[in-house]
Structure 1
Amino acid sequence: MRLLVNGGAGFIGSNLVESALRDPAITEVRVVDDLSTGRGGNLGGQDVELVESSILDPAAPDRAGR
């Protein structure tokens, strides 16, 4: 299963990502975050793809879904 986390570079989102990566059913995690309050460093080198964009950008879901 693939997971897309909006705001995944923030405190709550990064903890959600960390938890999801421990689930063997989750095969891929992508994060969409505009980094206005979150930081890429919160993802701690985890195996995720960070799409730096606002979810309000109409093209963001397309970029994140690739």
Structure 2
Amino acid sequence: MKTRITGIRKKLEMTQEELAQKVDVTRQTIIALEQEKYNPSLALAWKITKALKKKRIEDVFEIKE
């Protein structure tokens, strides 16, 4: 799954740790997501989307084809 987390997070001047706290995961989980080494559950994807102030999951995540 392709992700835009890093770019959006940096634009919001948010650290990995801050995002992790907002969505109740570890910083290591955020790192794995940003490196596209981990696919989040739908619930986590939605939490991240909201924490990054986006309205649609598709604004943050994209399925690789």
Q: TM-score range by the shorter chain?
A: under 0.3
Which structure has the larger Rg? 1
Given the two structures, how large is their TM-score scaled by the length of structure 1?
0.28
Higher helix share: 2
Return the structure number with greater relative CO, CA threshold 8 A, min gap 6. 2
Given the two structures, how large is their TM-score scaled by the length of structure 2?
0.28
Higher strand share: 1
